Amino acid sequence: MIGKHMLMIPGPTPVPERVLLAMAKHPIGHRSPEYSEIQAEVTENLKWLHQTEQDVHILAASGTGAMEAGIINFLSPGDRVLCGCNGKFGDRWAEVCEAYGLSVERITAEWGKPLDTEQFRAKLEADTDKTIKAVILTHSETSTGVLNDLETINKHVKAHGALIIVDAVTSLGAVNLPVDELGLDVVASGSQKGYMLPPGLGLVVVSPKAWTAYETAKLPRYYFDLGKYRKATAKNSSPFTPPVNLVLGLQAALQMMREEGLENIFARHQRLTQATRAAVKALGLATFAPDECASTAVTAVAPTTVEAEQIRSTMKKRFDIALAGGQDHLKGKIFRIGHLGFVGDRDILTGISALEATLIELGGDSAQSGAGVEAAAKALNRH
Amino acid sequence: MIGKHMLMIPGPTPVPERVLLAMAKHPIGHRSPEYSEIQAEVTENLKWLHQTEQDVHILAASGTGAMEAGIINFLSPGDRVLCGCNGKFGDRWAEVCEAYGLSVERITAEWGKPLDTEQFRAKLEADTDKTIKAVILTHSETSTGVLNDLETINKHVKAHGALIIVDAVTSLGAVNLPVDELGLDVVASGSQKGYMLPPGLGLVVVSPKAWTAYETAKLPRYYFDLGKYRKATAKNSSPFTPPVNLVLGLQAALQMMREEGLENIFARHQRLTQATRAAVKALGLATFAPDECASTAVTAVAPTTVEAEQIRSTMKKRFDIALAGGQDHLKGKIFRIGHLGFVGDRDILTGISALEATLIELGGDSAQSGAGVEAAAKALNRH
């Protein structure tokens, strides 16, 4: 049977029919009053989602483009920055900084472990000359399923005074992230994650403090010059042609998110995460990230007696479910289950029952028939 | 009546139902074999469209992002470049170059006039030390409806040896642009134009000579680092998450273009252009760009006795047709009729008959009833 594919990867995530149909509308001119009205609504709802009074800017770019914009608009060549690196994406932001000639210090942790907040504290406290201009970190590390302790690191950054630039690509819309309350300076995200949209939009919000840094920041930029977006967004416009149909989809997705409510969205992601983790453990598989720093977007699983890639290919072949593999040195060592965005309780039961069937078929690990679904069901009940 | 809007702007252009429905499909994982197959087909068809043996790279970006990538990957700070500036977009590429610290010399022409090829020749011939590293120009200037004489300028560039970087945003797919035959080094375009797609994709093709320049080019880049795209495209992959649904749309659009055939596509755009221009003149309105350098994407019209903005608003209010206004200092002085992409003979008759009715309603210019449609019909017949 074809056409019955199920996405359980951490992006692109499933897209609701309402959003797909909104995207299938004929485009309208992006300089028309009708488009301005749509953008006004979208901006308002993005502010609600980010829990901020600041405008959220929409870029035609992937999440990486949005993060690059979030870095290069506020820094100058040679500026000293701290980068939290405990996965593929943390590493990537350090690479972006190096590509632009920043002086990068990596605070690393083993992949699968959270960043050590004390290392940030020590580095920042030692910097009495305030040479550190920004701290850059990934909130939810998609490559490992680790949720870094943004709140504690942010406290240390606030005590120091540097900017804090956050990759919230798989945390925004999956876990509470009150941008203004935390005083985050730059928060970047991408459409194909919690937004329940296909990829193609990058989103960035900027604090007043970061806008002050923008005034003197000297790294070159044009397409990613957020000052151009700031001016345009204030007039419900865009500096360059926006991806009109993706914005129509975003309008529909944000309406759905408002209908569900922020608290419900966060509780749902928490519930799906707990159910997935309980089930994986009941099936005798190890979760890769510890419980206390579990991402609510993605669970990485490290099977022992069965090959990760064998599980992935059987899930695909037998049940047409896409799971993500490991990245870089984790290739073949883990697989990743996405439970982010347009994912409900039934989807977790579906995924877990297929995983259980897969393990039975492959005969590996200590899979006990029924154990995964039972554990998931109980966890879904509890939360 | 609502829902019967008609786009006659030079982007976003109309999108075929087949493309809209392809975009409304549920996304698939961008690291799956299924996606690689789609990308392989798309790359093959993009090469056909560009008449090149080189891979064409797909960026999640607007046309401006694609042009920025086309500039910054091949140059170093302080490099001397010539920019052809005879409209909003030519001016923009000079601004991009300045934002990156290049040494820019503008070769300007009045908006509405073509670039003077002799000025390029003179500058290039005088540069015996070969300090000019690149010549950057806009093929079809969307802001004025001028098609610059790329072939002649390219000859002078070839005689000199600099790179030639071309904004083909509204020329690709609307006029013959044999990239390899002309030996163009970088050609950038955007999805919402001749491609018959909504905005959101930037496309760039790079010559072997430009790839050599890439090796020593020092301008900073990461998201727009075309070397990353080069490696990925060769493996039918992408360095960052691609806009999956727009690529599904691109697949459908390119299939439609292949079914129509390149020669037919170019002939159609030529026919629509001639019909539009004949009709506009018959209605007593002046075409802004001379016939000998008419863009096949857009016709700019300079009305005399009726206000351009009044014509636009009446076309919108009475017939729900969107025309584009003038940009920057041409605001209010011209309006622009797009005839690019998914536009057929009937659309031109529709647009012209509505323009005729609008002029009758507004009572201005020397509109003679029936003259516009008659002239368009005759021109459509002739070509």
pLDDT at B364: 65
How does pLDDT run across A52-68, given as a tens digit for each residue? Answer: 999 999 999 999 999 99
User: Helix crossing, B345-362 with B308-319: angle to 10°?
Assistant: 110
A99 → closest Cβ in B29, B60, B222: B222
Q: A-B interface: how many C-beta pairs under 8 angstroms?
A: 180
A22 shares contact with chain B (CB less than 8 Å) = no
Q: Out of B259, B283, B315, pick the residue that ends a domain.
A: B259
The whole-number average pLDDT for the span B117-123 is 98
Number of Cβ within a 10 Å radius of residue B238: 25
Residue A129 lies in a domain: yes
Q: Let me know whether B65 and B167 are in one domain.
A: yes
Closest alpha carbon to A135 in A118, A109, A154: A154
Same-domain pairing of A235 and A303? no
Q: Are residues B181 and B300 in the same domain?
A: no
Q: In tens digits, what is the pLDDT along chain A, a chain of 383 residues?
A: 888 999 999 999 999 999 999 999 999 999 999 999 999 999 999 999 999 999 999 999 999 999 999 999 999 999 999 999 999 999 999 999 999 999 999 999 999 999 999 999 999 999 999 999 999 999 999 999 999 999 999 999 999 999 999 999 999 999 999 999 999 999 999 999 999 999 999 999 999 999 999 999 999 999 999 999 999 999 999 999 999 999 999 999 999 999 999 999 999 999 999 999 999 999 999 999 999 999 999 999 999 889 999 999 999 999 999 999 999 999 999 999 999 999 999 999 999 999 999 999 998 656 678 999 999 999 999 88
Specify the amino acid at residue A159.
A
Residue A239 has a pLDDT of: 98
Question: Both A66 and A211 in a single domain?
Answer: yes
Q: Where does a domain end: B209, B229, B259?
A: B259
CB contact under 8 A, A7 and B25: no
* Ranges assigned E (strand) in B139-218: 140-141, 146-147, 163-167, 186-190, 201-206
Say if residue B296's pLDDT is above 90: yes
Domain span at residue A54 reads 17-259
Using the predicted structure, report yes or no on whether residue B366 has a pLDDT greater than 70.
no
**Contact of B137 with B83, CB cutoff 8 Å:** yes
Q: Chain B residue with minimal CA distance to A6?
A: B28
Number of structural domains (chain B) is 2
CB-CB under 8 Å, B63 with A200: no
Which of B347, B204, B372, B171 minimizes the C-alpha distance to B277?
B372
Q: What is the mean pLDDT of chain B?
A: 97
Checking if the pLDDT of B9 tops 80, the result is yes
Report the residue from A14, A222, A241 with minimal CB separation from B11: A241
pLDDT band at B2 (very low <50, low <70, confident <90, very high): confident
Map chain A to HEC letters: CCCCCEEECCCCCCCCHHHHHHHCCCCCCCCCHHHHHHHHHHHHHHHHHHCCCCCEEEEECCHHHHHHHHHHCCCCCCCEEEEEECCHHHHHHHHHHHHCCCEEEEEECCCCCCCCHHHHHHHHHHCCCCCEEEEEEECEECCCCEECCHHHHHHHHHHHCCEEEEECCCCECCECCCHHHHCCCEEEEECCCCCCCCCCEEEEEECHHHHHHHHHCCCCCCCCCHHHHHHHHHCCCCCCCCCHHHHHHHHHHHHHHHHHCHHHHHHHHHHHHHHHHHHHHHCCCEECCCHHHECCCEEEEECCCCCHHHHHHHHHHHHCEEEEECCHHHCCCCEEEECCCCCCHHHHHHHHHHHHHHHHHHCCCCCCCCHHHHHHHHHHHHC
Q: Are residues A90 and A235 in the same domain?
A: yes
**Domain contains B9:** no
Helix (H) or strand (E) holding B82: strand B80-85
With CA atoms as reference, the chain B residue closest to A89 would be B240
> End of a domain among A235, A259, A283?
A259
Whether the CB of A190 is below 8 Å from some CB of chain B: the reply is: yes
DSSP letter assigned to residue B40: H
pLDDT of residue B60: 98
The answer to whether position A144 is within a domain reads yes
Residue B349 lies in a domain: yes
The burial of B218, by beta-carbon neighbours within 10 Å (0-12 exposed, 13-18 middle, 19 or more buried), is given as exposed
Q: Residue B365 — very low, low, confident or very high, per pLDDT cuts 50/70/90?
A: low
Q: Is there a domain that residue B4 lies in?
A: no
Q: Helix A371-382 and helix A345-362: axis angle, to 10°?
A: 160
Cα A379 to Cα B37: distance, rounded to the nearest angstrom: 39
Q: Is there a single domain that holds both residue A78 and residue A220? A: yes
Taking the C-alpha atoms of residue A40 and residue A22, their distance in angstroms, rounded to an integer, is 17
pLDDT of residue B383: 82
State whether residue A341 sits within 8 Å of chain B by CB.
Answer: no
How far does CA B308 lie from the centroid of its chain?
23
Q: Is B372 on the interface with A (CB under 8 A)?
A: no
pLDDT tens per residue across span B309-355:
999 999 999 999 999 999 999 999 999 999 999 999 999 999 999 99
How far apart, in whole angstroms, are the C-alpha atoms of residue A338 and residue A322? 9
| Model pLDDT, residue A219 | 98
CB within 8 Å: B30 and A24: no
Q: Based on the domain organization, do B147 and B272 belong to the same domain?
A: no
Are B238 and B298 members of one domain?
A: no
With respect to residue A345, please indicate whether it lies within any of the assigned structural domains: yes
Contact B31, B240 (CB under 8 A): no
Q: Residue B3 — pLDDT band, cuts 50, 70, 90?
A: confident
A225 and A282 assigned to the same domain: no
Partner A contacted by B243 (CB < 8 A): yes
The CATH number linked to A47 is 3.40.640.10
Q: Which of B32, B92, B195, B240 to mutate to test the interface with A (most CBs of A within 10 A)?
A: B240
Confidence band (pLDDT; 50, 70, 90) for B367? low
Q: What residues pair up with A300 in beta bridges, in sequence order? A: A336
Domain shared by A62 and A162, yes or no: yes
Would an 8 Å CB–CB cutoff place B96 in contact with chain A? yes
Say what the pLDDT of residue A367 is: 65
Co-location of B226 and B324 in the same domain: no
Q: What residue in A sits closest to B15 (Cα-Cα)?
A: A26
Q: Is any Cβ of chain A less than 8 angstroms from the Cβ of B39?
A: no
Residue A2 lies in a domain: no
In terms of Cα–Cα distance, which of B186, B184, B190 is closest to B153? Answer: B184
Q: Which of A19, A21, A26 to mutate to test the interface with B (most CBs of B within 10 A)?
A: A26
User: Are residues A102 and A115 located together in one domain of the fold?
Assistant: yes
Q: For residue B213, what pLDDT is reported?
A: 98
Tell whether B331 lies on the interface with A, counting CB pairs under 8 A.
Answer: no
Query: Mean pLDDT throughout B71-87?
Result: 98
| CATH number of domain containing B296 | 3.90.1150.10
A4 in a structural domain: no
